[in-house]
């Protein structure tokens, strides 16, 4: 007969559950990193709205995209190190391999659409492809991540249907607002 107490048994079960969850899902998505991404996107939307040429507007958003990648990678690395999670685990590779194709497609389509003079299609293209990437990559992460991707796709659809002049504000609402909203939820529910 075991002399273990109920709290010890529950602690062991919690450890086992957490270990299984970490091996099956990429849990190093940083909520606070998402919040920071949201605030930099809001600043980029404001700055982009001040630009007088389509090329200057594009440069602002391309710079924001590069900044967002750097923040995302650093935030995930920080959270993984802080929680003792492997950053390049099986689930992390699956997230990266699922997220990368839509982002690469978005990069090529950005230059194609801009060169064709269709810069008003860029916000919808970015939101739809980013949302698709978040949904597919999020399948290997915590449950709320694919929901966030779906919200990006919904706003991308509204961007398609809305006036072209609202594109920058749809980017602010999504890359800014959605990242902040979901980032706060992830930080609260999933440890930072």
Indicate whether 64 belongs to any domain: yes
Q: Are 87 and 77 in contact (CB under 8 A)?
A: yes
Does any domain span residue 13? no
- DSSP string across 23-52: HHSB----HHHHHHHHHHHHHHHHHHHT-S
User: How much of the chain is in helix, strand and coil states, percent to nearest 5?
Assistant: 80, 0, 15
| pLDDT for position 58 | 95
123: in domain: yes
Residue 17 lies in a domain: no
Distances (CA, A) of 73 to 11, 84, 87, 113, 144: 32, 16, 10, 28, 19
What pLDDT does residue 13 have? 66
Residue 130 lies in a domain: yes
- For the chain, the domain total comes to 1
What pLDDT score was predicted for residue 173?
94
Q: Is residue 89 part of a domain?
A: yes
Do residues 48 and 170 lie in contact, with contact meaning Cβ atoms separated by under 8 Å? no
Distances (CA, A) of 155 to 10, 42, 54, 107, 170: 42, 16, 22, 19, 7
Q: What is the DSSP string of 131-153?
A: HHHHHHHHTTB-THHHHHHHHHH
Give the per-residue pLDDT at 20: 53
Query: Can you name the residues that pair with 26 across neighbouring β-strands?
Result: 141
Within-domain flag for 68: yes
| The pLDDT of residue 56 | 95
Asked if the structure places residue 2 within a domain, the reply is: no
Which structural domain range is residue 70 located in? 28-189
What pLDDT sits at residue 60?
96
Q: What does pLDDT average to in each consecutive run of 10 residues of the chain (192 residues)? A: 69 64 59 91 96 95 94 80 67 77 92 94 94 83 84 94 93 94 84 68
């Amino acid at each position: 007969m075991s002399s273990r107490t109920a709290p010890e048994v529950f602690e062991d079960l919690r450890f086992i559950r957490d270990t299984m969850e970490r091996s099956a899902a990429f849990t190093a998505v940083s909520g606070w990193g998402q919040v920071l991404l949201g605030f930099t996107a809001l600043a980029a939307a404001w700055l982009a709205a001040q630009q007088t040429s389509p090329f200057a507007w594009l440069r602002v958003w391309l710079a924001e995209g590069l900044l967002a990648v750097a923040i995302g990678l650093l935030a995930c690395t920080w959270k993984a190190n802080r929680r003792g999670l492997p950053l390049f685990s099986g689930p992390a590779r699956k997230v990266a391999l699922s997220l990368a194709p839509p982002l690469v497609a978005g990069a090529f389509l950005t230059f194609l659409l801009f060169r064709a003079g269709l810069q008003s299609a860029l916000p919808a293209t970015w939101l739809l492809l980013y949302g698709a990437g978040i949904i597919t990559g999020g399948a290997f992460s915590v449950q709320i991540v694919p929901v966030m991707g779906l919200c990006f796709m919904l706003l991308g659809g509204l961007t398609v249907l809305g006036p072209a002049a609202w594109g920058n504000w749809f980017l602010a609402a999504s890359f800014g607002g959605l990242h902040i909203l979901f980032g706060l939820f992830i930080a609260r529910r999933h440890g930072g």
